[in-house]
Amino acid sequence: MLSLLSQPHSLDRTVLASVDLGRADVARPSNGAPARQREASGEGGAQTASPQVLLVDDNVVVRKGLAKALQAAGFAVTVAENGLAALMQIDVRQYRAIILDIMMPVMDGAHFYEQLVTEYPSAARRVLFVTAWADDPTVQSFLADTGRPVLQKPFEIEEFVDAVRRVAARP
């Protein structure tokens, strides 16, 4: 069991979650037509046994721990450390769920989500936000406007996996 500590960029807030890390095997993106082309054509590509999820978080320890928990729950996980890296993954494949932190360097979760709404609307409907900033008025307003589910850090791993399952199960 490993305790994960994260300190968001600008606030003195500590986030804690406990997970069993073991060996984290993170799925890598496959080659093929960009997701934008598949979405436009209505083709989903070949189905895989494990639902594909994209995990976007800048904290490497949190990212690895959550990826391991998702893999143990039967998901194939692709990771990205910020919104820009995640946009590159969206061009490669479609995901049943996108787990998205809000505060990240390079491109934060809010800007990434806005790009999804504009360029990949079906992907935007698969976002689950995870954040330690849910009580910040600006973040609260943004999250309320999205209508997407939100988990406030810290959270229990079982709660997290259940929330991802609900998002991934949506048609």
Positive or negative: CA dihedral 57, 62, 64, 70: negative
**H or E segment to which residue 2 belongs:** strand 2-6
Task: Supply the pLDDT for residue 116.
Answer: 96
Q: pLDDT tens digits for the chain (171 residues)?
A: 333 334 344 333 333 333 333 333 333 333 333 343 333 333 344 454 699 999 999 999 999 999 999 999 999 999 999 999 999 999 889 999 999 999 999 999 899 999 999 999 999 999 999 998 878 899 999 999 999 999 998 999 999 999 999 999 998
Task: Supply the pLDDT for residue 17.
Answer: 39
Q: Are strands 15-19 and 52-56 parallel, antiparallel or unpaired?
A: unpaired
What's the CATH code of the domain at 61?
3.40.50.2300
The whole domain housing 98 covers 2-169
Give me the number of domains the chain comprises: 1
Task: Supply the pLDDT for residue 29.
Answer: 35
- Which pTM does this prediction carry? 0.73
